[in-house]
Amino acid sequence: MTDTSLIPEKEVMNKLGVSSRQTIWNYTKRHGFPKPVRTHPKSYLREAVEGWILNGGVNQKCS
């Protein structure tokens, strides 16, 4: 069963240890971080965020 729950941007920032929304944007553009789901406030799929972290986060190789 897949986890389709959403995680708010603030919680994502805490999980990644970053304090800037710009850092999350940079991770998306340069390191393959999952794009947010179109909600307000901005949220991400929990499964996608946790998968990105497990696959190495910013240290993984992106194509």
Confirm whether pTM is higher than 0.85. Answer: no
DSSP 12-60: HHHHHT---HHHHHHHHHHH-PPPPBS-SS-EEEHHHHHHHHHTTGGGS
Asked if the model's pLDDT at residue 61 lies above 70, the reply is no
pLDDT per residue over 6-27, tens digit each? 999 999 999 999 999 999 999 9
Would you call 60 helix, strand, or coil by DSSP?
coil
